[in-house]
Structure 1
Amino acid sequence: MTEKQIVVLGAGYAGLSAATRAGRRHRVTLIAPETRFLHRVRQHETAAGHPEHRPTLAEVTRGRGVRHVRARATGLDPAARKVFLDTGEAVAYDTLVYALGSRTAWHAVPGAERHAYPAERAAELGERLRTADRPGTVAVVGGGATGIELATEIAEAHPGWRVRIVAAGQVGGWFSARGRGHVRAVMARLGIEVHERSTVTEVDTGGLHTSGGRIPADVVVWAAAMEPHPLAAEAGLTVDPAGRALVDDHLRSVSHPEVYIIGDAAAVTVPGTGTLRMGCATALPMGGYVGKVLTGRTDKPFAFRYNLQCLSLGRRDALVQLIHGDDSMRPSILTGRTGRLIKAAIVNGVIWSLR
């Protein structure tokens, strides 16, 4: 073990992957407020009331030179190379791995943050659905992957609840025609009402106001968009208009090369692939790459190509969409039991891959 001070901010897919790999040869300080890993791609299961699959950070980092500091980062001084914590402590670093990820974006929609459940409150949402005096109506806002998984999981697990999905565009609109068709077929089977091209303008205790009219709901779930954590921008690191930090081909901040930025917090453009989207599929490889760089196992630029996209559609179905390396759609899909087994294998393999 060397005494080089490596600090990792964030214990998500990117941060944990970087910490466990760097911890093979260095002493690493991992700063995160939680004690258990948040398996974000399984939050729809938690929202539906299924058991959580969240190993402790100690389990994931066992056998590595990783010290977990249970705290939240409140400030960053790149000039002094210090991270400030909500405990009042300041942690110095030689190298910082910034992996604070993203959070639900409310886009200043009146009432949304007050009245809607974001994915971060999945457990609370699950309890609300389970303990309600009587079933009512759930409106899931967002036609992306998170919204689709939440809507189908809730509809299957709580058949007494009426589920609606509301999207500003087309639900699953980025998939191939066959992929979109399968998503719509599953939603029809589960009795999910689909409201497309309906922009939400306000959320209140009785539901949604949209560009297409009033949509009543007893419970509103917000899965419309994500935004990067603001700490990088507040600290003066160079960011793009969306707030994602700009990095070079080794995932170092273009303004502060002693800071590696990975996961949803980073705006990463790979030649031949394009600018990477947020998500587990890109965060894990970034974390693994930085871990290899810090242990001297590679000095090559970061490279990445896509293989597939997959969605859970309840416990009995899934969609695996085959894609080109640049994330564009192929016509082929896998569904049903085959798709579900592939999706389960990928999700279950994430914990193993973190190490």
Structure 2
Amino acid sequence: MPATPCHVVIVGGGFAGLWATRALAAAPVRVTLLDRGNHHLFQPLLYQVATAGLSAPDIAAPLRHILRRQRNATVLMETVAAIDTRARRVLCTNGRGVDYDFLVLASGATHAYFGHDDWADHAPGLKTLDDALHIRRRILSAFERAEAEHDPAARRAWLTFAIVGGGPTGVELAGTLVEIARHTLAREFRRIDPGAARVLLLEAGPRVLASFPEALSAHARAQLQRLGVEVRTGQPVQAIDADGVCVGADRIPARTVLWAAGVAASPLARTLGVPLDRAGRVPVQPDLSVAGAPEIFVAGDLASVQRPDGRPVPGVAPAAKQMGRQVAAAIRARLAGKPAPRFRYRDFGNLATIGRMAAVVHLGRLRLTGALAWWFWLTAHIYFLIGFRNRLSVMLSWTWAYWSYQRAARIILGDAAADQPRSTRQA
């Protein structure tokens, strides 16, 4: 053992990074956790903030507070620019460097627009709290702009919401938007009928929720359609601009387009100087270390990991948590002079909510739909939130929303005009 404790630097305070940090609490190491924000975010409920069901503190907690009792952990709010693997140093955007003995790279993923980065201005994605607040502002402002609009065609465009991507995030956004339009905003406007809002879910593949069994996918589509969502599958989006979206040969005038179609690995992966997969992720060894650099581990959405049957480990929260614990176990084994254990992913299944009292759950042979699946989904999400305060706050918010159909966080904050595409702003 060195005279000073081994230094483990962890980049990213998401599920993988935080679980790795906590799993090293009793290890003879110094841990430095770097994150561009000061909080850990429960991403599975991020869409609830975007749709005004929950406030930001309900699904986020300060990293310093979470780790306040872990004496060997230091939290630094830094944005990482690159990794100098030869010098074993993490380089930050402010010019500072942090040396490491072991590095855990868990910086997650960002939005992927499949070569159409210009779409980002017109179709924001949902990965951070800033994204959620931006989307919430755009959704609520659309109803306000429709109320003030005199031209019927322009009003219809403001009341048309297109969501690109039929995965869990897209399905959850679509179902919730219909609930907001049909119930939450009922009787609040004088010149428009919010219930007449048009919500479209656009999926390039043959079905929504492609990671679920086909029967559950079909059930989810039918439920969405019963709610009033227009589901279009089998046709990719051709173009997105300030005035709408093109799907196949159809042009859909829509002032609000939301992106839920794809993600790309953090660009930090490219600074490692190792081959990456097609999605920009780092192929890792069985213990999640990087080939040729055993002191570097990659976890979470940034890691490309194959299961024994050849299928990839999905980019979901349970997988990231397991990878975080695995990395900590590997580091402890290395310090003890033992071989690092292999990573074995335990699949806890898939969950997605569609709307009020409607969800789908796939847990091995167990398949649930409808109200029972919704209660299962709700219980699981409350249970896995960090902190008693968060669980209590979310439970109270959802209880109120269930009985009243109200969404408490419907305050428009920030400059709503600045969020609108340039062609729609006032001079």
Kindly provide the amino acid, as one letter, of the partner of residue 130 in structure 1. Answer: L
| 1:237 aligned counterpart, secondary structure | coil
* Preserved CA contact (<8 Å) 1:238 1:254: no
Q: Which residue of 1 aligns with 2:141?
A: 131
Q: Which residue of 2 aligns with 1:27?
A: 30
* Deviation (angstroms), 1:110: 6.3
- Structure 1: state its 5+ residue gaps: 324-329
Q: Which residue of 1 aligns with 2:289?
A: 252
Please tell me whether residue 235 in structure 1 is matched to residue 272 in structure 2: yes
Q: Which residue of 1 aligns with 2:102?
A: 95
| TM-score after normalising by structure 2 | 0.76
Distance 2:218 2:239 in 1: 30
| 1:119 aligned counterpart, secondary structure | coil
Q: Which residue of 1 aligns with 2:43?
A: 40
Distance 1:291 1:110 in 2: 36
* Preserved CA contact (<8 Å) 2:357 2:375: no
The 3 A distance-change label for structure 1 pair 209 and 294 is: same
Q: Which residue of 2 aligns with 1:167?
A: 203
* Deviation (angstroms), 1:2: 6.3
Distance 2:371 2:332 in 1: 40
* Preserved CA contact (<8 Å) 1:49 1:127: no
Distance 1:158 1:308 in 2: 31
- Structure 2: state its 5+ residue gaps: 147-157, 183-193, 388-427
1:283-322 maps to which residues of 2 (within 5 A)?
283-296=320-333, 299-322=340-363
Please tell me whether residue 57 in structure 1 is matched to residue 45 in structure 2: no
Deviations 1:333-353 (A, max 9, x none): 212332122222332333459
| 1:37 aligned counterpart, secondary structure | strand
Deviations 1:173-214 (A, max 9, x none): 343233022211221222101111121121111111122421
* Deviation (angstroms), 1:136: 0.8
Deviations 1:37-67 (A, max 9, x none): 1211111111111123211112222311221
Q: Is the helix fraction higher in 1 or 2?
A: 2
1:155-234 maps to which residues of 2 (within 5 A)?
155-159=178-182, 160=194, 161-169=197-205, 170-234=207-271
Kindly provide the amino acid, as one letter, of the partner of residue 270 in structure 1. Answer: R
Distance 2:344 2:296 in 1: 19
The 3 A distance-change label for structure 1 pair 236 and 341 is: same
Question: Which of residues 283, 287, 301 is equivalent to 1:264?
Answer: 301
Q: Which residue of 2 aligns with 1:150?
A: 173
Distance 2:375 2:61 in 1: 22
* Deviation (angstroms), 1:119: 0.6
Distance 2:74 2:117 in 1: 41
Kindly provide the amino acid, as one letter, of the partner of residue 64 in structure 2. Answer: A
* Preserved CA contact (<8 Å) 1:15 1:287: yes
Distance 1:213 1:255 in 2: 50
The sequence identity of aligned pairs, in percent, is 30
Distance 1:123 1:158 in 2: 18
* Preserved CA contact (<8 Å) 1:109 1:201: no
Kindly provide the amino acid, as one letter, of the partner of residue 27 in structure 1. Answer: R
Q: Which residue of 1 aligns with 2:123?
A: 116
Distance 1:349 1:262 in 2: 23
Deviations 1:73-118 (A, max 9, x none): 0111001000111222100000000001111101122641121111
The 3 A distance-change label for structure 1 pair 246 and 174 is: closer
Distance 2:68 2:316 in 1: 25
Distance 2:249 2:132 in 1: 28
Distance 2:221 2:63 in 1: 38
The 3 A distance-change label for structure 1 pair 83 and 42 is: same
Q: Which residue of 1 aligns with 2:164?
A: 141
| TM-score after normalising by structure 1 | 0.91
Distance 1:271 1:180 in 2: 25
Stretch deviating more after TM superposition (167-176 or 303-312): 167-176
| 1:63 aligned counterpart, secondary structure | coil
Distance 2:126 2:329 in 1: 31
Distance 1:173 1:105 in 2: 18
